[in-house]
Structure 1
Amino acid sequence: MTAFDAHDPLGIDDLLSDEDRAVRDTVRSWAADRVTPYVADWYERGELPGIRDLARELGSLGALGMSLTGYGCAGAGAVQYGLACLELEAADSGIRSLVSVQGSLAMYALHRFGSEEQKQHWLPSMASGEVIGCFGLTEPDHGSDPSGMRTRAERDGSDWVLNGRKMWITNGSVAGVAVVWARTDEGIRGFVVPTDTPGFSAPEIKHKLSLRASVTSELVLDDVRLPADAVLPEAHGLRGPLSCLSHARYGIVWGSMGAARACFDAALAYTREREQFGKPLAGFQLTQAKLADMAVELHKGVLLAHHLGRRMDAGRLRPEQISFGKLNNTREALEICRVARTLLGANGISMEYPVMRHSTNLESVLTYEGTVEMHQLVLGKALTGVDAFRG
């Protein structure tokens, strides 16, 4: 019988193939070398310096558009993509957000709904990280209810003219292309917007207290004129952007467990070394109770993510099941981080440790791409057959 592993108490590693482990270990090694030593400083400064270099490096790893096929994309399985998200978020949620928005939102929208010309033009350079993408859905007045969006696209001859604003857009001010959703006379449509188009601007949002090592922007569209072929031909209505969000939410199911793991590991190491009342903190019953509860929720969450990944690989994953994972894992990850903070005492708020940084990041992860309440209602509707979103 193999020895008990405090970092893999259920032996989840046994569920992974050699290729799965190779993907995980490659991303973990890259994050340990290129992110972990520097991210506390980036977070404190509220910036992500060298984001273009990081994007190219992630592209060389095959991490951008990782689960897509063709056009320079890696064509990896869903579990492998999930493992990459977990390792990236164990370093910082902002880095995983960079990858998620690039691959699961902007690239996924082009790959699934774009014309062949759009795919050929944008996807290879996005897969390599030479071009960064963003995804414009959320608006200043409409987050959880995208059906109320005010951004409009009007026909002018054969052209489209876009006007409106999008808010809380990751990668916005460094993007070379934006996938923007707008209301038209034909319903909601998606548009491929090169960011050097006149009338497009993306001022960066400052003074954030979460996701500080990440680029977050507003998108402003002021009479942005686009040719007829800028529209995504296969996307009609809200089903288009919502399917992109489902793909991105799947990455969050895994990624949130990465942040939780980092905080659990920090708490476990700290309590083994820190002495109070003549012995290590780990020797007290209340400490062990906290660590046990944290480990149970962490590894239950990883098992849930793994199960959803296998369902996605089999083509059987439903949006309601993704909501199940996003709801559970983000809530439990945040609670794990909060408990870790108590075990570290005052040191828990120090940037010398990752706990408070992950905790504040997870406050955003908890609510972006679907708040707790939205996912509860998605599950509530699936369970009862009654739609309670509007009353």
Structure 2
Amino acid sequence: MPARRSPWMDQDLDDFRDLARTFCEKEIKPNVDTFIANKQVDRDLWNKAGDQGLLCLSIPEEYGGGGGTFAHEAILIEEQARTGDSSWGASLHNGIVAHYILAYGTEEQKHAWLPKMASGEVVGAIAMTEPGTGSDLQSVKTKAIREGDEYVVNGSKTFITNGAQADVVIVVAKTNPEEAASGISLIIVPCDAPGFSRGRVLDKIGMKGQDTSELFFEDVRVPVTNLLGTEEGQGFIQLMMQLPQERLIVAVSNVAAMELILDETMRYVHDREAFGRPIWGFQNTKFKMAEVATEARVARSFVDECIGLHLEGQLDIPTVAMAKLWCSERAQKVADICLQLHGGYGYMNEYPIARAWADLRVSQIYAGTSEIMKEIIARSLPAPV
């Protein structure tokens, strides 16, 4: 099959891919096992990435960023995925946390946080999920109650990516507990604030090197100037506006994982022998790999279309929900087929397919479950005339 170049690529992005690939091959791939054992990446990975200009890629240069576009973010996501790593939370730091500050922050907030996030001095996280809320963000219990010139933050969060290493957290909280969506605001909380604490790094079935953590806020006081946005109650709308990029990030990583799985499994079925011949010699293997190649190609084409639309500012919420739903579901299907072709070795963590199979399962849950994606899509369908 001829190599395919995404239509949104250009020479500048080709050169950037070389830089991203070199970094990931040198700094990430040899350390994947160490990250998993430590349940987090080495802290200096963030500083090394900052030195190479790989953080805040799509943030304007005036705030210390790379001045690029989402295409640069997508390439870094792809190159990280192709090393088999799921530990480094750069896509959240770059494509989500930094963009909340860019989109809704004051000039003072942007200059205070974005340059440090771009250098790797500060690692960012966003705290949405709570033990009892999950996808129901309108029902968060964490409160940020104004007292004079400060907000007093109380509550707890769970499943927080970058939670153990974060230096700053954007907290989804109720500034008006009597309201649902209209009571939600986003508050910037530095992690050195008194009353902030971290719980355990959570023991997950996959993504074991990602420092997904519990966070606790006990009478944490921050200035009212740490509110994101011009007034209280804008948080839910802000979340809805930024979630499409988060969902596209998931879809991009899913496609890159499918392509890695395809390559790794093709290598395996040609090398591994059974009944006196390579596994590739069996018709079932060829048929299954044909399915996998087709799934990966279709997903890639759809995601490329979505990236193109996003770069033009035209990617709508239902379409990106389709991309997130399709790619997360298909990536798991591909991983399942390829694990089966590995036989017993597919169940061993030393093989990339085993880790990919476990890592991918959460893609159908985070950034909005598959069920939520279906609800969004269904709402967009026109009624019959």
The TM-score with structure 1 as length reference comes to 0.91
Contact 1:140 / 1:166 at 8 angstroms: preserved in 2? yes
Match of 2:131 in 1: 140
Q: 2:28 aligned to 26, 31, 35, which one? A: 35
Match of 1:200 in 2: 196
Q: 1:74 aligned to 66, 69, 76, which one? A: 66
2:208 aligned with 1:212: yes
Contact 2:255 / 2:331 at 8 angstroms: preserved in 1? yes
Listed one character per residue, the Cα deviations across residues 282-314 of structure 1 (whole Å, up to 9, x for unaligned) are 121110111111011112111111111111111
* Bigger shift: residues 357-366 or 84-93: 84-93
Match of 1:362 in 2: 360
CA distance in 2, matches of 1:331, 1:299: 15
Contact 1:90 / 1:255 at 8 angstroms: preserved in 2? no
* Bigger shift: residues 116-125 or 79-88: 79-88
Question: What is the aligned-residue identity percentage?
Answer: 30
Q: Which amino acid aligns with 2:70?
A: A
CA distance in 2, matches of 1:250, 1:49: 24
Listed as ranges, the gaps of 5+ residues in structure 2 are: 177-181
Listed one character per residue, the Cα deviations across residues 170-205 of structure 1 (whole Å, up to 9, x for unaligned) are 111211111111111272111111111011112232
CA distance in 2, matches of 1:383, 1:233: 32
* Bigger shift: residues 72-81 or 321-330: 72-81
CA distance in 2, matches of 1:210, 1:89: 14
2:146 aligned with 1:155: yes
How far has the Cα of 1:258 moved from its partner?
1.7
Match of 2:173 in 1: 182
CA distance in 1, matches of 2:103, 2:128: 17
Match of 2:77 in 1: 85
Q: 1:19 aligned to 4, 9, 12, which one? A: 12
* Bigger shift: residues 250-259 or 202-211: 202-211
CA distance in 2, matches of 1:135, 1:194: 12
2:103 aligned with 1:112: yes
How far has the Cα of 1:13 moved from its partner?
4.9
Contact 2:8 / 2:308 at 8 angstroms: preserved in 1? no
CA distance in 2, matches of 1:234, 1:86: 35
CA distance in 2, matches of 1:14, 1:308: 11
The TM-score with structure 2 as length reference comes to 0.93
Contact 1:198 / 1:224 at 8 angstroms: preserved in 2? yes
Aligned pairs for 1:335-350 within 5 A: 335-350=333-348
CA distance in 2, matches of 1:249, 1:180: 19
How far has the Cα of 1:62 moved from its partner?
2.9
Listed one character per residue, the Cα deviations across residues 121-162 of structure 1 (whole Å, up to 9, x for unaligned) are 110010111110110111111111100111111111121111
Q: Which amino acid aligns with 1:295?
A: A
Listed one character per residue, the Cα deviations across residues 229-269 of structure 1 (whole Å, up to 9, x for unaligned) are 11112471411122232222111111111222221111100
* Partner-residue secondary structure (3-state), 1:203: strand
Q: 1:382 aligned to 364, 380, 383, which one? A: 380
* Partner-residue secondary structure (3-state), 1:64: coil
CA distance in 1, matches of 2:70, 2:92: 16
Q: Which amino acid aligns with 1:86?
A: E
Match of 1:172 in 2: 163
* Partner-residue secondary structure (3-state), 1:201: strand
How far has the Cα of 1:46 moved from its partner?
5.2
CA distance in 1, matches of 2:274, 2:83: 29
How far has the Cα of 1:381 moved from its partner?
0.6
Number of equivalenced pairs: 376
Change (3 A) 1:253 1:41: same
Q: Which amino acid aligns with 2:227?
A: V
CA distance in 1, matches of 2:75, 2:303: 9
How far has the Cα of 1:56 moved from its partner?
1.6
Q: 2:297 aligned to 296, 299, 308, which one? A: 299
2:247 aligned with 1:256: no
Listed as ranges, the gaps of 5+ residues in structure 1 are: 387-391
